[in-house]
A = this chain, B = another copy of it.
Amino acid sequence: MNIFSDRIKNLQPSIIREMFKFAADPSVISFSAGNPAPESFPKEKIAKISADILSQEPVAALQYSISEGYPKLREWLKADMQKKEIFNPNGDELIITAGAQQVMELTTKTICNETDAIICEAPTFIGSLNSFRSYNAKLVGVPMDDAGINPELLDRALTLNPRCAFIYLIPNFQNPTGKTMSLERRKEVLELAYKHNVMILEDDPYGELRFDGADIPPIKALDKKGHVIYAGTFSKTMAPGLRVGYMVGPADIVNKAVAALQTSTVHTNIWAQMLVWRFVSQTDFGAHIESLRELYKRKCSLMLNSLKFSMPMSITFTEPQGGLFIWGSLPHGELDTFCRAAIERKVAIVPGNAFLVNESERSLDFRLNFSTPSEEQIEKGVEILSSVAKLFY
């Protein structure tokens, strides 16, 4: 029998998550993951804080808790957002989730009917595309230039899709391209959301990881009409295995989202929430972020310099101001052949079509991650990748 629901029957596990298992082969240099640098985890502090929690308030850390999230962490986040002039959330506008990915899932579940459109940057993060696919949304990809999503094409896509649930955007150091949306473009996109009366889902997992240039306010900070849902996470600033993120948005939407969260995870692992709160409020979180920025700046520069030094000139790369990813573009030829040749030489990269609404579309781009590999692996991996590239270009 075909037992599967319409929404799920075509859903496949993410290529990237599948690559994980493959990249577990220790002889492979993986530029394909999106993992934060393991050397960046504040391991000793986490161990100390965890011990404190489990000796000082074990029952609170082990018993059922409320679905909205650990009150102290919610309060800290609200104060932090206020301080950064992003938003001034009241009690009902911020909840804790099991990572930012759950925000994509809850937002889709809450405001997108099956076959409604979700408009996104092309390319964009495959994990979010799969969240949207899992509710049988109609995905519409809109091409980007160096300043972000193309506003004329976005306007047209919104006109052509009157049943659009929301526009999905990653304005800072986008996954997979590493591009940052300009302030001007953020304003234009927000105006388009107002004009067409649709919501924006702003995904900002890397915002804190800027290592070049000046901060640009999130779209959430520019919004005066309650059209933006904002997804944040501690996966990149602390540790992803904790699965702690947060959702900020209009109270009515967040209230429905928390009712939906309650029917799934009931609440986010409470030890992890308490751990995050103690870490951000009782240690020097600012200094920790600063050390992450330095680390990623160094790794990104090392990869970019190595690429410039050894790759054929005809292959181009974005120069991100933050985040975890560099986006490469081949001048012509077959992306698939290139990626296969690389993996045969034990270097894993992600073909760009994985990030498109229609994966069978042709692409000449590929994603490189600089956070997970060690500096040695970056140098060696780029060397191998260059030798492969020189076979074709």
Contact = CB atoms under 8 A, between A and B. Distances in A.
Contacts of A258: 13
B62 A242 contact: yes
A240 interface: yes
Contacts of A127: 262-263, 266
A199 interface: yes
Interface string A268-290: 11111000000000000000000
Contacts of A255: 13
Interface stretch (A64-72, A171-179, A215-223): A64-72
Q: State the number of copies, please.
A: 2
Interface stretch (A95-103, A146-154, A308-316, A342-350): A95-103
A86 interface: no
A241 B63 contact: yes
Contact of A240 (B5, B8, B63): B63
Interface stretch (A45-53, A292-300, A319-327): A45-53
A39 to B, nearest CB: 9
A360 interface: no
Given A62-B41, A63-B35, A110-B8, A269 B242 contact: yes
Interface string A114-148: 10100000000001001101100000000000000
Nearest to A260: B134
A209 interface: no
A54 interface: yes
Contact of A5 (B54, B109, B269): B109
Centre residue among A102, A113, A134, A262 by max chain B CB count within 10 A? A262
Interface string A1-25: 1011111110111100100110000
Interface residues of A, number: 83
A167 interface: no
Centre residue among A8, A11, A235, A272 by max chain B CB count within 10 A? A8
A68 to B, nearest CB: 9
B264 A264 contact: yes
A110 B271 CA distance: 29
A46 B63 CA distance: 13
Given A50-B54, A256-B8, A3 B263 contact: no
Contacts of A35: 63-64
Contacts of A133: 263
A38 interface: yes
B21 A98 contact: no
Nearest to A58: B43
A259 interface: yes
Interface in A333-383: none
Nearest to A271: B241
Contacts of A243: 265-269
A61 interface: yes
Contacts of A3: 111, 199, 252-253
Contacts of A197: 1
Contacts of A51: 47, 50-51
Given A4-B256, A5-B116, A62-B240, 6 more contacts: A4-B110, A7-B109, A11-B263, A13-B255, A99-B265, A99-B266
